[in-house]
Chains A and B, each alone.
Chain A
Amino acid sequence: MAVFSAKNLSVSINGTPILKNVSFSLAKGEILGLVGESGSGKSMSALAAMQLLPDGATQDGSIRYKKHEIVGASERTMNEVRGRSISMVFQEPMTALNPTKTIGDQVSEGLLWHFKMTRQRALERTQKVLERVGLPFDNHMLDRYPHQLSGGQRQRVVIAMAIACKPRFLIADEPTTALDVTIQAQILALLKEIVRKDQMSLLLISHDLAVVADMADRVAIMKDGEIVEHGPTGQLFRTLSHPYSQQLVEASSHIPKARTRPLDPDAKPLLAVEGLVRTYPLPKRSVFEKRQYHTAVNTVSLRILPHESVGLVGESGCGKSTLARTVLGLEEPTKGHISFLGKNPFEVSHKEEKALKRGIQAVFQDPYGSFDPRHTIAKTVAEPLHLLRHEISETAKNGKVIAALEAVGLKPQDAHKYPHEFSGGQRQRIAIARALVTEPQLIVADEPVSALDVSIRAQILDLLADLRDRLGVAYLFISHDLSVVQAITDRVIVMNGGRIVEEGSTEQVFRHPKHPYTRMLVAAAPDLNASLKRRHKAEIKARTARQKS
């Protein structure tokens, strides 16, 4: 019998349909993967299962936990079900924990709420649960606050909170999206182990096909509030029939067309960084303590040739963004030397500095956050032209803005609109247009596609590849996502702890990683094809074993 099932579930918020006739069910110990892009309704399905829908939501259909109907159940009943029978692991481990309460208080809270037990007893059980999720055993863990833990540790605490009362059904909504790849692999392995051992059912919600293909027994693909295709994982991916699922799979391993403009390895490098060091003073713990420094970037050297695309990968805190900021001239190097177009941007005259700044532009992760909502697109895109303010006329400026918008596939009339009128992918196009408007030789792109859905990501990667060939711009492409870097770069640099641990041609580094850290990174990165192959092998093995017996 199904532990949990949704049947013809429809949810509307203030009259707008969000879920349309969604049906799925989970057997005991089964993992169901729910994949889809933003706005597909996958998170809303989870909130419906918990009956924590936002205000103004109306629902129709049936949700059952074992024999109990959940749709329309009283608040009282749901307070007993939530956390006790159905639990949830949330995406953002920092914000999912209350910053003003200790870990011990937060994990034991559910136990004290659902069971009659003393605080002492609840804390003992909390300690056991924390060990269960792999947090290091020490007596102080219970007294720590969330900000004293790392991102991975926090997510372990969130999982501990969810499983503390031994629920039969667990929902994990993008449980690893905010984490580094190596941590992601650990957390996924932990979830799988817990679910298998305790025979829990898990609804795993993710935008990442590779993660779902690796974890789930069955997969459901959602689009615009509907499940368009579902079935057992291996079979589903082999026989995708719905055009949207096919498009999703194609987009997630999309590789833009190869470069048409050959590189000249003997050309004078566009950017040369020699022995760059950047340190930050740490706050003093007491008035008398000697000031300590954190070295974010430690003796880094790199070169970028004209129209070369160089990838910079590493996990959060490895110094990749600091390096990018220094290259952009936003931070002065503590030590070392930077030369762009043969000149050191920190030593040239004011006039030359402006010329250098025109030659190097940036694209950031969150396009919306980098726009002023009250500026029109024309004004936003024209902003870097401030560097040319005495040199070009207003008409020339407008011409450049229109040209930049057209280069990224937007229309001239879009210039008069405001940022909120565009979708996420269009906004990233605007950000790229803003970088292009000064006709730079180098674009520093810091996680430019990380916030985007896979199909949009594929389009932006195509655009970047196209601009590389058409306009001859070079990229310093920073990302934690190895598959993206692999798709768009000629050469890759791997950073760890502020140092470069490995560099080489993209193909060579990914195919034959030398440094142990790179190997770990490559192994931890989810890969759809690899996990489908693994699954296929396991299926064949299981079948032959069955035939033998």
Chain B
Amino acid sequence: MFSYGVLRLLGLSLTLFAASIVVFVVLEVLPGDPAQVMLGISAQEDTLAALREQLGLNAPVLTRYVDWVLGMLQGDFGISYTYNVPVSELIAERAAVSLPLAAIALILSTAIAFPIGIMAARFRGKALDTGIMGLTQVGIALPNFWFAILLVYVFAITLRLLPSGGFPGWDQGVLNGLEALILPAIALALPQAAILARVMRSALIDVMSEDYIRTARAKGLSARVTLWRHGVRNALIPVLTILGLQFSFLVAGTVIIENVFYLPGLGRLIFQAITQRDLITVKSGVMVLVALVVLITFIVDLAYAAVDPRLRRGR
């Protein structure tokens, strides 16, 4: 188990390294002068030169790359051009919104998807299954921003139960913070839950046709006990894969929902940084997201091994 973890970790560090090169190359070496971009086309040549010097753009490419990576390893992500504060502070502040939001959405979607996916598999082909599958189809088809607007209309405007958007900050009390995250989390979770439920159902149906399920029934176990004891755990492997992908998406891919609810999250930070040509924020922000996705992949890999003993050793 330990060496499996170490091997995975090594592989993921290499992924991170490769990603850093790609991000760097795309944003810095490709044609286009960041100083020019920042100052606009009408900028004076001497102002441009001064800015280039200030940004360290005159140094050789390799030096700049190494400086950037070494800086990040020490927690120095550079200074945002537009906000004029360290990028690390910006990211930390935004992650405080995005990570809890993603976590709540994930918990919600799992809590919804697992029971209904399992029920659908257990009553495969029956009315319950057809009903659940129909609902999940709707869940997948609905755009989540539309659903978000509907939620705001019902819970914030009509019933006045929850805030319609914005984020007060955690210093205003954890409950107030959570309250602001509930509607966005539901809007994010439902489409994810629909996908996850379908994956759970089909994985479980596959597992339930395995020989060892018949063996369990031959021991005398009832259909229900067999499903829970022998089915669900074996069905978890494909489900975990989707869960990992979904969490990655929930952390960074939520720009639209963040915009609908006016939340200061990571997705919006990077989106704004791109429109404002704040390249250092884009570069470092993307790297942080890559690292996060890599970390999630690592956790999913460990979870695989926890579920399936065959993966615990290389041999």
Spell out A's residues near B (CB within 8 Å): 50, 52, 75, 79-84, 87-88, 90, 92, 95-101, 109-110, 113-114, 145, 147, 158, 161-162, 282-287
Contacts and interface: CB of A to CB of B under 8 A. Distances in A.
Contacts of A114: 220
Given A99-B212, A282-B315, 8 more contacts: A52-B217, A82-B217, A92-B211, A109-B229, A113-B219, A113-B225, A285-B314, A287-B6
A109 B218 CA distance: 12
A110 B219 contact: yes
B292 to A, nearest CB: 25
Given A98-B234, A99-B310, A100-B307, A113 B220 contact: yes
Interface SS of A by simple majority: loop
A205 to B, nearest CB: 14
A139 to B, nearest CB: 18
B158 interface: no
B214 interface: yes
B218 A83 contact: yes
A88 B10 CA distance: 46
Contact of B219 (A99, A161, A284): A161
19 contacts: A50-B218, A75-B222, A79-B222, A81-B220, A83-B218, A90-B215, A92-B211, A96-B214, A97-B215, A98-B215, A99-B309, A100-B234, A100-B307, A100-B308, A109-B216, A113-B219, A114-B220, A147-B310, A286-B3
A531 B222 CA distance: 41
Contacts of B222: 75, 79
B41 to A, nearest CB: 53
Given A100-B309, A147-B310, A79 B211 contact: no
B311 to A, nearest CB: 10
A288 to B, nearest CB: 9
A52 B214 CA distance: 8
Contacts of B307: 100
A321 B233 CA distance: 35
Contacts of A88: 218
Given A284-B314, A285-B315, A110 B211 contact: no
By size class, the interface of chain B is 20 to 34
A500 to B, nearest CB: 28
B313 A285 contact: yes
B221 interface: yes
Interface of B: 3, 6-7, 10, 210-212, 214-223, 225, 229-230, 233-234, 307-310, 313-315
Given A80-B220, A100-B309, A145-B309, A283 B314 contact: yes
Q: Which of the listed residues A79, A82, A100 has the most CB atoms from chain B within 10 Å of its own CB?
A: A100
A95 B234 CA distance: 13
A83 B217 CA distance: 8
A8 to B, nearest CB: 25
Nearest to A76: B222
A98 B234 CA distance: 8
Which 10 pairs of residues, A with B, have the shortest CB-CB distance? A83-B220, A95-B211, A83-B219, A110-B219, A82-B220, A98-B212, A145-B309, A283-B314, A286-B3, A88-B218
Interface SS of B by simple majority: helix
Contacts of A162: 218
A145 B229 CA distance: 16
Contacts of B3: 285-287
Contacts of A82: 217-220
A84 B219 CA distance: 7
Contacts of A282: 315
Nearest to B210: A95
Contacts of A96: 211-212, 214-215
Q: Which of the listed residues A82, A97, A98, A114 has the most CB atoms from chain B within 10 Å of its own CB?
A: A98
Contacts of A287: 3, 6-7, 10
A115 to B, nearest CB: 11
Given A98-B230, A109-B221, A161 B215 contact: yes
A283 B314 CA distance: 6
Nearest to B209: A54
A285 B230 CA distance: 29
A158 B215 contact: yes
A399 to B, nearest CB: 45
Contacts of B308: 99-100
Nearest to A75: B222
Contact of B212 (A97, A147, A285): A97
B122 to A, nearest CB: 13
B155 to A, nearest CB: 41
Given A96-B212, A284-B314, A110 B220 contact: yes
Nearest to A92: B211
A60 B186 CA distance: 53
Contacts of A84: 220
A128 B116 CA distance: 41
A350 B211 CA distance: 47
Nearest to B221: A113
Contact of A100 (B216, B220, B221, B233): B233
Given A90-B215, A147-B309, A147-B310, A99 B234 contact: yes
Contacts of A50: 217-218
A90 B220 contact: no
A161 B215 CA distance: 9
Contacts of A98: 212, 215-216, 230, 234
Contacts of B230: 98, 101
B159 to A, nearest CB: 45
Nearest to B236: A100
Contacts of B10: 287
Nearest to A99: B310
A87 B218 contact: yes
Contacts of A285: 3, 313-315
A176 to B, nearest CB: 16
A257 to B, nearest CB: 41
A99 B215 CA distance: 12
B285 to A, nearest CB: 32
A158 B222 CA distance: 19
Contacts of B313: 285
Contacts of B233: 100
B314 A90 contact: no
Contacts of A79: 220-222
Contacts of B216: 98, 109
Q: Which of the listed residues B10, B221, B308 has the most CB atoms from chain A within 10 Å of its own CB?
A: B221
A92 B223 CA distance: 21
A247 to B, nearest CB: 32
A196 to B, nearest CB: 23
Nearest to B314: A283
A70 B313 CA distance: 45
A172 to B, nearest CB: 12
Contacts of B7: 287
Nearest to A102: B309
